[in-house]
Amino acid sequence: MEESFKIENQNITISNRSSACISGIKKILSFDEEEFNLDTTSGQLEIKGEGLEIIKLDIVEGTINIKGIINSFDYLDSISDKKQNGMLSRLFK
């Protein structure tokens, strides 16, 4: 049995640190006024800020629009972390 996976692009557009449009959303893990945790096609994304709220959510397209004061975006399981744990990094410890 052969399985195939489609890797989707993720786009993030930030306007004046007061709104963001994010595509590639698979699931909203949690959210409140200060923090959003999203499962995306690029990994788990954490957004921190103040007065954050969902303006638009499109489940079919996998997009979300957020408004509020955006302070940071952080991938919790980033690709760079996986690369750092590769063979070369283990050799040069």
* pLDDT, position 86: 55
pTM exceeds cut of 0.95: no
Residues in the chain: 93
- What does the alpha-carbon distance between residue 44 and residue 35 come to, in Å, rounded to a whole number? 13
pLDDT digit string, tens, across residues 10-50: 999 999 999 999 999 999 999 999 999 999 999 999 999 99
* Lowest-confidence region among 3-12, 56-65, 68-77, 83-92: 83-92
Q: Among the residues of 1-93, which ranges form H helices?
A: 79-84, 87-91
Number of H helices, E strands in the chain: 2, 6
With CA atoms as reference, report the closest residue to 5 among 31, 41, 38. 41
* pLDDT, position 77: 73
Cβ contact 47:35 at 8 Å: yes
* pLDDT, position 4: 47
